Amino acid sequence: MFEVITLGSGSAGNSMLVRSASSAFLVDAGLSAKQLSIRLDACGVRLEDLSGVLLTHEHQDHCGGLKVLLNRCNFPVYCNPMTARAMSDTGFPHANWRFFQNGCAFSLNEFTILPFQVPHDAADPVGFRISAHGACLGVLTDLGYATRNVFDVLKGIQALLIETNYDEQLLQQDMRRPWSVKQRIQSRHGHLSNAAAARVIDELDAPDLRHVILGHLSRDCNSPDLAETCVRTTLETRGRAASLYCAGQDRPSPVFGLI
Ligand SMILES: [Zn+2]
Ligand SMILES: [Zn+2]
């Protein structure tokens, strides 16, 4: 058993549950501790059951609920040293850190985790390739563009969580965001647009890709319809049979089984 559930995904908070028959862990903990507890409970997972949380980077929408969650249950926090330092610098208390190095795989129970660097405006942001029982999940969120290394690392995956942060036209038309913020979002250290994510999926060397989960949608500059339509067109053009699901901010996704 290798299952994935997004507990919530969007600019207001991100967290994903990965589990097997005997263990479970989170990737990011950006929802409130209360919501994380409620949604884990709905998935039949107790806090004490978690083997830890993996952090992609230190932005609040990825670790905002962690401090309160650790007060309730002091499970290990897996991240690279620069991410931990960035969190400590902003007042995050001492945690049960387990440091990894980008590009070096490590084990978490029966899972093998390979963290890999992505370009984003954080201290040392990463994506993950998570493998178990012969199946692989790619976690690719918060990146300005996909480097050659990203394509190398994600070869042959069966499931992918990828950010479709914004629709390019809606971002241009948005009156609330100043020009400098728009520039940041679109930069090579910002976020993937729907069209950019579709291109990444298109170029991915993963013929057995079965599940594509779209996440981290901007509330103002995107919609599930726009993101799904953009990516579906690419999948259909390429004759790919992967299921497509757009993760929401306010409720957990269905369960995606890799094996
Ligand atoms: Zn970020
Ligand atoms: Zn984010």
Contact 12, 25 (CB under 8 A): no
Distance 206 CA to ligand 2 centre (A): 25
pLDDT tens sequence across 90-120: 999 988 999 999 999 999 999 999 999 999 9
pLDDT tens sequence across 29-66: 999 999 999 999 999 999 999 999 999 999 999 999 99
Distance 76 CA to ligand 1 centre (A): 21
For the question of whether the overall pTM of this predicted structure is more than 0.75, the answer is: yes
Query: What average pLDDT does this structure show over 18-37?
Result: 97
What sign does the CA torsion over 25, 99, 111, 8 have? positive
Our count of domains for the chain comes to 1
- Does residue 235 register a pLDDT over 90? no
| C-alpha of 168 from chain center | 21
Q: What is the dihedral of CA 135, 141, 147, 148, to 10 degrees?
A: 10
Domain that holds residue 86: 3-257
Instruction: Find the CATH number of the domain harbouring 43.
Output: 3.60.15.10
9 φψ region: left (φ > 0), alpha (ψ -120 to 50), beta (else): beta
pLDDT tens sequence across 158-173: 999 999 999 999 999 9
- Does residue 88 register a pLDDT over 90? yes
Angle between helix axes 224-237 and 194-203 (nearest 10 degrees) is: 30
Distance 246 CA to ligand 1 centre (A): 19
pLDDT at 172: 92
